[in-house]
């Protein structure tokens, strides 16, 4: 009898330990599964965001299946953050051609991924033609969205009456579409007015409404690209 009791106790102890082991293994499997789902499904889906409203369900699922395994490529930048690259989209140029040129110039790592993402978000039908500037810290997703807003061909900048040269030099770099160095511009102002006019007309700035040296500079309009002055 004592032997049978010991045997039953041993069996119960083994069964109890086995149950605990199975339970711990099950918990471990659940945790691993949740981590996998988070990393491979939930997190990539949150980065991709919702698809375009008019995109068919079958195409949405197909594009998600193509994009989600490559979410790291979409979400990382490829170049130096201090580097600025200029890019021009021609009128009527489609998303695929634009993606190919961006990849060829090293602005994005993968042309197909960019095209697929633009189709997924409906950006391919909202691309604007024109002039763009991309910084090195922009990833593929950011570049795709920036293609819907080109830099205007003409920019108006108003100089308020009574502004000193220092105020003008401080305000120009704040304009989102003007690349102006304050110190350089101020150096121009410190020279004679005629010298300033000649220097500006020989640079990328376009002056609209330019008067004699005895006048102030209110109402000047700047053009970011090379152009002939218009009065």
Based on the structure, what is the number of domains in the chain? 3
The boundaries of the domain holding residue 207 are: 154-231
* Cβ neighbours around 190 below 10 Å, total: 11
In-domain check, residue 81: yes
Examine residue 119 and state whether it is found in any structural domain, yes or no: yes
Mean pLDDT of 103-126: 94
Average pLDDT of the residues in 104-109: 92
Residue 54 lies in a domain: no
Q: In the prediction, which pLDDT does 26 show? A: 76
Lowest mean per-residue pLDDT among 27-31, 91-95, 176-180, 222-226: 222-226
Q: Is residue 59 part of a domain?
A: no
pLDDT of residue 185: 72
Q: Predicted confidence band at 196 (pLDDT cuts at 50, 70, 90)?
A: low
Say whether pTM exceeds 0.95. no
58 located within any domain: no
Could you tell me if 139 and 161 lie in one domain?
Answer: no
Query: Of 50, 47, 55, which Cα lies nearest the Cα of 125?
Result: 55
- The more confidently predicted of residues 7 and 167 is 167
User: Is 231's pLDDT higher than 90?
Assistant: no
The predicted structure's pLDDT at residue 100: 96
**Is residue 80 in a domain?**
yes
Identify the pLDDT of residue 97.
96
Residue 100 lies in a domain: yes
Note whether 78 and 140 are same-domain residues.
yes
Per-residue tokens: 86? 């200029």
What sign for the dihedral angle of Cα 87, 204, 163, 188?
Answer: positive
CATH number at residue 109: 3.30.1490.480
Give the span between the Cα atoms of 107 and 130, in whole angstroms.
17
| Cα 202 versus chain centre, distance | 33
Q: Which of 146, 180, 201 finishes a domain? A: 146
Domain boundary among 129, 146, 163: 146
């Amino acid at each position: 009898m004592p032997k049978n009791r010991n045997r039953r106790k041993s069996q119960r102890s083994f069964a109890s330990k086995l149950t605990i082991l199975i339970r711990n293994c099950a918990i471990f499997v659940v945790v691993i599964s949740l981590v996998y789902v988070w990393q491979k499904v939930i997190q990539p889906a949150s980065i991709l965001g919702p698809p375009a409203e008019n995109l068919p369900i079958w195409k949405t699922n197909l594009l998600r299946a193509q994009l989600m395994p490559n979410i790291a490529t979409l979400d990382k930048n490829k170049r130096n953050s201090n580097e600025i690259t200029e890019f021009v989209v021609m009128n009527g140029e489609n998303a695929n051609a634009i993606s190919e040129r961006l990849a060829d110039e090293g602005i994005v790592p993968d042309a197909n991924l960019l095209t697929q993402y633009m189709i997924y978000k409906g950006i391919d039908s909202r691309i604007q033609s024109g002039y763009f500037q991309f910084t090195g810290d922009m990833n593929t997703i950011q570049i795709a969205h920036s293609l819907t807003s080109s830099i205007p061909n003409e920019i108006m900048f108003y100089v308020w009456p009574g502004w000193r040269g220092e105020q003008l030099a401080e305000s120009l770099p704040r304009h989102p579409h003007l690349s102006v160095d304050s110190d350089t511009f101020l150096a121009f102002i410190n020279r004679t007015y005629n010298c300033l006019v000649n220097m500006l007309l020989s640079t990328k700035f376009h002056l609209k409404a330019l008067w004699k040296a005895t006048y102030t500079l209110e109402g000047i309009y700047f053009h970011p690209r090379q152009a002939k002055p218009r009065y």
